[in-house]
């Protein structure tokens, strides 16, 4: 039976389309009150309208904008039980080497959205979570953080490193907040067809779009809290199996991005 999350509050960034929109729909279907946040107002209004949620316009790389987003969520819906850091951009193409790139600002912008944005959102919701003694954070990562580099890889020299940084940040944060009964996870949604990935074409090994939202729903339930700090793949990991083997996974330091020799 799917997890019932009735009465809880979720804040989903990058929720106006694609993975974020589907996560928002899944959580609302589980009974959560959902704030849908993104830069494009008409997109978040459309998704929020579908799920009777709260539409918020936000630039996650701007601290004042993030603060307003969290304040508006808590005023309208209540304290945030679940933060889903899904907002992200791919950045410049791999086809342009950095010594020929005349726009270093676009490279850094990827880190501002993918990494700094998640940091600012976490920093804004955590005081409330710590005070209440509980909460969950899900960072949406990418296989670009660890898969072999190839000319056709998504994004350029900023995207993969920004997602690798996001995972490591989540792992460190998980250790910091564990004494307050707060769990932090980084997930890979797989290769989901979206505006960002569409250029890969029909023959790409697409991941069913329902898998990441279902994983987030399971993580929101609290049943997987022993796996805090772990990296979980929506397609290649069975979350119920991981939950059943949580003690073993932690003891063996599995589901983590590590250098092995």
Backbone angles phi, psi at 64, to 5 degrees: -65, -40
* CA 84/CA 185 separation, integer angstroms: 10
Using CA of residue 19, residue 24, residue 25, residue 27, what is the dihedral sign?
positive
* CA 205/CA 198 separation, integer angstroms: 12
Catalytic site positions = 159
Closest of 148, 128, 141 to residue 171, by C-alpha? 141
* CA 44/CA 59 separation, integer angstroms: 13
């Amino acid at each position: 039976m799917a997890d019932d999350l009735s009465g809880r509050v979720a804040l989903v960034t990058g929720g106006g389309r694609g993975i974020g929109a589907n996560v928002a729909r899944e959580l609302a279907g589980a009974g959560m009150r959902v704030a849908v946040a993104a830069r494009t107002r008409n997109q978040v209004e459309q998704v929020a309208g579908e799920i009777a949620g709260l539409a918020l316009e936000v630039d996650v790389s701007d601290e004042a904008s993030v603060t307003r987003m969290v304040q508006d969520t808590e005023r309208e819906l209540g304290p945030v039980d679940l933060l889903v850091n899904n907002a992200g951009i791919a950045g410049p193409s791999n086809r342009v080497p950095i010594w020929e790139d005349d726009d270093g600002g676009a490279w850094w912008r990827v880190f501002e959205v993918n990494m700094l944005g998640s940091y600012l959102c976490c920093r804004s919701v955590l005081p409330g979570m710590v005070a209440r003694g509980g909460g969950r954070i899900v960072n949406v990562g990418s296989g670009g953080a660890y898969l072999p580099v190839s000319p056709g890889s998504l994004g350029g020299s900023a995207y993969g490193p920004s997602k690798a940084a996001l995972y490591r940040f989540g792992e460190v944060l998980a250790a910091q907040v564990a004494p307050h009964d707060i769990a932090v996870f980084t997930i890979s949604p797989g290769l989901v067809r979206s505006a960002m990935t569409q250029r890969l074409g029909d023959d790409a090994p697409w991941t069913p779009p329902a898998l990441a939202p279902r994983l987030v729903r399971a993580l929101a339930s609290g049943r997987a809290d022993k796996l805090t700090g772990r990296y979980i793949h929506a397609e290649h990991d069975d979350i119920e199996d991981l939950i059943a083997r949580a003690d073993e996974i932690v003891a063996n330091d599995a589901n983590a991005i590590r250098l092995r020799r």
